[in-house]
Amino acid sequence: MISRTIRENIYALGAQHWDRRLFDALIPLPDGTSYNAYLIHGSEKTALLDTVDPSQVDTLLEQLREVEHIDYIVSHHAEQDHAGAIPHVLEKYPQAKVIASPKGKTLLIDHLCIDDERFITVEDDERITLGNRTLQFVHTPWVHWPETICTYVPEERMLFTCDFFGSHIASTDLYVTDRARVYEAAKRYYAEIMMPFRGTIERNIEKLSKFAIDIIAPSHGSIYGDPAFIMGAYKDWIAEKPKNLAVIPYTSMHGSTKTMVEHLTSALAKRGVGVRQFELSVTDLGKLAISLVDAATIIIGTPTVHVAPHPAIFYASYLANALRPKLKYASIIGSYGWSSKAVERIAGLIPNLKVELFEPVLCKGYPRENTFEKLDTLAEGVAEKHRFGGYADIMGVC
Ligand code: FEO
């Protein structure tokens, strides 16, 4: 990808990684991703904000081919998809200094073996001038690592946020155009990366709301020419109150658990509760994570394998626990052959979920009328809690 002009002497650099399909050997990337870097020429100094994933270093170096001098490389975040090419840029520009938070410096030394003397550390609200432009550093820790910072350029009312507000999406759109597509990608990104840090995200959004911002430029995905779009979405996602949604991750070996899930889905829908089912042997776990951003209730459906939950349920339960969604209620349903400890084992996997548990519904063999009655009772209980909580239905793109 070529570099593109955002404002006079401010350029979007970086790489579109169209065919990447997995991040951290964990996170599905249906739309690829991008690693954005930004070049700001001031009247006296030049700064590069973030770099790219090491796999894309040649693209960045080509974009910098005619840039003779860089004074500063701002590292907002030490994870390698943004910082991994810093050693290559430092080699090309031996006089350049890396600007990072004190914690960022430590992490960059740990991860990338950058020499101590190449750093300038910046405190919260510290400013460095480029001449006619200023870099104002805003400490925004825990989005999603402890060292993360943003850079505000007051003369342009631009905020550079790295992972914060980002989306895994490869695109030629410099600015967000297809809002529905970006909303889903940004929500997926929030769900998989940011959701466990809702508290610090809320504080950081509050902090950033004091700035006059015309453009948010993240280091994944397109630039926001309307910052209210993504800030509003984040405020909705971090809101304490969940939505009128029950999520049912499940799998089924011989159809009994699936029959129970189908019955429960209908029973919930009949009572006005939104439901999203995820059959774990075929599901995109990112879609499950997106639904967990909003869900008030999770019902885990499992058959029994060697007296325990199905292995796919272990994985999904562990993931849901790690993401710490704002769930309020939970239950477990499923079928077993002769005996089951599925409920006890799943309960032990989700200590982070501060949920009220509904009575599990487990049946031996194929479900019959008394099991369906118990599922109806479960659905009624969930619907009543959702009504009492005043949980709103999910709306589309804001
Ligand atoms: Fe995009 Fe936390 O790295």
Separation CA 77–CA 146 (nearest Å):
9
Q: Name the residue at shortest CA distance from atom 1 of ligand 1.
A: 163
| Pairing between β-strand 215-218 and β-strand 158-162 as defined by DSSP bridges | parallel
Pick the CATH number of 245-385 from 3.40.50.360, 3.30.1390.10, 3.40.50.1970, 3.40.50.10490: 3.40.50.360
What stretch(es) of the chain map to CATH 3.60.15.10? 4-238
Which residue in 152, 100, 105 sits closest to 123, CA to CA?
100
Separation CA 106–CA 206 (nearest Å):
27
Q: Indicate the pLDDT class of residue 397, thresholds 50, 70 and 90.
A: low
One-letter identity of residue 299: I
Supply the pLDDT for residue 26.
84
Q: Is the pLDDT of residue 214 over 80?
A: yes
Q: What angle do the packed helices 285-294 and 179-189 form, to 10 degrees?
A: 90
The CA 333 to ligand 1 mean position distance, Å, reads 36
The tokens of 277 are what? 């089912």
Partners of 49 in the beta sheet?
38, 74
Separation CA 223–CA 218 (nearest Å):
6
- Its sign, for the CA torsion 43, 8, 171, 27, is positive
| Pairing between β-strand 274-279 and β-strand 245-250 as defined by DSSP bridges | parallel
Q: Name the residue at shortest CA distance from atom 3 of ligand 1.
A: 79
Tens-digit pLDDT profile for residues 86-126: 999 999 999 999 999 999 999 999 999 999 999 999 999 99
* DSSP reduced 3-state for 123: coil
Please compute the mean of the pLDDT values over residues 61-71 and round it to a whole number.
97
Supply the pLDDT for residue 27.
86
CA atoms within 13 A on the CB side of 118: 23
One-letter identity of residue 151: T
Q: Name the residue at shortest CA distance from atom 2 of ligand 1.
A: 79
Q: Indicate the pLDDT class of residue 47, thresholds 50, 70 and 90.
A: very high
Topology, domain 4-238: Metallo-beta-lactamase; Chain A (3.60.15)
Separation CA 125–CA 131 (nearest Å):
18
Q: Indicate the pLDDT class of residue 148, thresholds 50, 70 and 90.
A: very high
Please compute the mean of the pLDDT values over residues 57-62 and round it to a whole number.
98
The CA 256 to ligand 1 mean position distance, Å, reads 41
Please give all residues whose beta carbon lies within 6 A of any atom in ligand 1, as ranges.
77, 79, 81-82, 144, 163, 220
Please compute the mean of the pLDDT values over residues 264-272 and round it to a whole number.
98
The tokens of 196 are what? 């466990």
DSSP character at residue 191: I
Cβ 18 vs Cβ 38: under 8 Å: no
The CA 163 to ligand 1 mean position distance, Å, reads 5
Q: Indicate the pLDDT class of residue 345, thresholds 50, 70 and 90.
A: very high
Which residue in 52, 230, 209, 56 sits closest to 140, CA to CA?
209
The CA 295 to ligand 1 mean position distance, Å, reads 25
Partners of 161 in the beta sheet?
none
What stretch(es) of the chain map to CATH 3.40.50.360? 245-385
* DSSP reduced 3-state for 379: helix
The CA 207 to ligand 1 mean position distance, Å, reads 21
Cβ 213 vs Cβ 159: under 8 Å: yes
Supply the pLDDT for residue 396.
65
Q: What is the DSSP string of 269-287?
A: HHTT-EEEEEETTT--HHH
Please compute the mean of the pLDDT values over residues 168-174 and round it to a whole number.
96
**Chain length of the chain:** 398
* DSSP reduced 3-state for 291: helix
Q: Is the pLDDT of residue 398 over 60?
A: no
Tens-digit pLDDT profile for residues 277-335: 999 999 999 999 999 999 999 999 999 999 999 999 999 999 999 999 999 999 999 99
Place of tokens 């709306």: 395
Supply the pLDDT for residue 2.
82
Separation CA 283–CA 285 (nearest Å):
6
Task: Kindly list the distances between the CA atom of residue 149 and the CA atoms of 84, 108, 136, 308, in Å, as whole numbers in the listed order.
Answer: 17, 14, 10, 44
Please compute the mean of the pLDDT values over residues 35-41 and round it to a whole number.
98
Place of tokens 């804001």: 398
